[in-house]
Amino acid sequence: MANQNVVVSDAITAAVAAPSLFPAAAQKPPAVPGTYISISQKKLVQNLDINSAARINSWVDSMRALSPTHIKSHSLSDHRNMQLPSAMDMFEQIMNDSKGKQIVMFLDYDGTLSPIVEDADQAFMSNAMRETVRKVARYFPTAIVSGRGLDQVYSFVRLAELYYAGSHGMDIKGPSKSSKHTKGGEAVLYQPASQFLPMMDEVYKALLEVTKDTPGSTVDNNKYCLSVHFRRVDEKKWIELATKVGSVMEAYPDLILTQGRKVFEIRPPSKWNKGKALEFLLESLGYANCADVYPIYIGDDRTDEDAFKILRERGQGSGILVSKIPKDTNASYSLQEPSEVMAFLRRLVEWKKSSLRKQFMRKARLQGIKMPLPI
């Protein structure tokens, strides 16, 4: 498409008025980190073609929708009817549906086990949450599925008996401490996007370079996924920052960009996602094509939708969305926030303990009947 001066929406007008680094589609920058900033900003603004402007606008809109910055006080009650049923209210129903099946737990990290905070490096989970997850893992095979790099999410959770899927499922590792759910001590290790590692390192450097002058922006290197944070960037600068990310994407057209909660996530050209990771882990646990399994996936973000969708397609288990506001989702139930996730997990543990007690009593009664009566 020919470049042209375009009339753009308010949001994008704000952006082009600010320094912008988006190159013309026809003048793609070379795929060499650090070369993006050499092009005159004025020229770039003129060169911003209508498609690029619309694309960047839609990226930002999409991110805003996932983590709205201005929620009108009346909007929550207006939408309450559209909310999914609460997983707490429907707890008994969920447990009934899982009867006779092995529950397998899948837990997202940010916004699910830890509250969303300004500084992504400080998103620690509480000790109470850690203890709760530890108990869950005692009774059910449990996996953490996160967009974060595997090592980082492990350093936050610090439970060796769990399965971990970092980089949105592109880096999978089994428990390092044996548990009754570990299959014969077999090491589970899977990195379906490893061939893209050099490219992701290159893109990481390029992103650092183009974003360095945007106050508040940070870039996480999550190994097979890179996250550009908008949370601490002045909202007036969001389009400008998105435009800078766009300039890197132009040089690597195969990369996939997704949006999360005030974050852009840049992934390698791989179809692997949290849903595929869920299926892979079920298979590793020996539940491939098994009707007697009940996966429960709890997550708060757009990337968790891939896992919710898989559960819907398989007609198995439950997807639980962590959100206070109604969202377009494939989940079946909702929980409001991490503290409610913890309450749900605790209830699950109590339910399991009580059903094990009942089972034990029943067995004991049966054995009692078989036992010879005392003379």
Residues that bind ligand L263DTV3 (CB under 6 A): 108-111, 116-118, 120, 123, 146-148, 220, 222, 227, 229, 231, 260-263, 265, 301, 303
State the minimum distance, in angstroms, from the CB of residue 229 to ligand L263DTV3. 6
Residues 6 or more apart whose Cβ sits within 8 Å of residue 257: 59, 245, 249, 264, 265, 266, 267
Of 250 and 306, which CB lies nearer to ligand L263DTV3 in the complex structure?
306
Q: Return the amino acid letter for 147.
A: G
Shortest distance, CB of residue 262 to ligand L263DTV3, whole angstroms? 4
Residue 269 vs residues 26, 59, 87, 159: alpha-carbon distances, Å: 22, 18, 35, 31
- 40, 89 Cβ separation under 8 angstroms: no
Q: Is residue 166 classed as helix, strand or coil in its secondary structure?
A: strand
| Amino acid type, 236 | K
- Burial degree of 314 (CB within 10 A; 0-12, 13-18, 19+): middle
Backbone phi and psi for residue 221, each to the nearest 5 degrees, phi listed first: -95, 100
Rounded Cα gap, residues 190 and 37, in angstroms: 37
Pairing of strands 142-145, 163-166: parallel
- The tokens of 261 are what? 């909660």
Nearer to ligand L263DTV3, 23 or 338 (CB): 338
**Shortest approach of ligand L263DTV3 to residue 254 CB, angstroms?**
20
The distance of closest approach from Cβ of residue 324 to ligand L263DTV3 in the complex, given in angstroms and rounded to an integer, is 15
Query: Shortest approach of ligand L263DTV3 to residue 91 CB, angstroms?
Result: 24
Compute the least distance from the CB of residue 306 to ligand L263DTV3, in Å.
11
Q: How far is the CB of 143 from ligand L263DTV3 (least distance, A)?
A: 12
Spatial separation of the C-alpha atoms in residues 192 and 310, rounded to whole Å: 18
Cα gap 239→62, rounded to integer Å: 12
Residue 107's DSSP bridge partners are 144, 298
CB of 107 to ligand L263DTV3, least distance (A): 9
Answer for the pair 269, 196: CB distance below 8 angstroms, yes or no. Answer: yes
Compute the least distance from the CB of residue 25 to ligand L263DTV3, in Å: 28
**C-alpha–C-alpha distance, residues 301 and 321, integer Å:** 8
Compare residues 56 and 263 and give the one whose CB is closer to ligand L263DTV3.
Answer: 263
Identify which of residues 8 and 237 has a Cβ nearer to ligand L263DTV3 in the complex.
Answer: 237
Q: Which residue is nearest to ligand L263DTV3 (CB)?
A: 147
Of the pair 109, 297, the CB lying nearest ligand L263DTV3 is at: 109
Query: By C-beta, is 49 or 171 nearer to ligand L263DTV3?
Result: 171
Q: How far is it, in rounded angstroms, from Cα 161 to Cα 137?
A: 7
Q: Which is nearer to ligand L263DTV3, 67 or 243 (CB)?
A: 67
Number of H helices, E strands in the chain: 12, 12
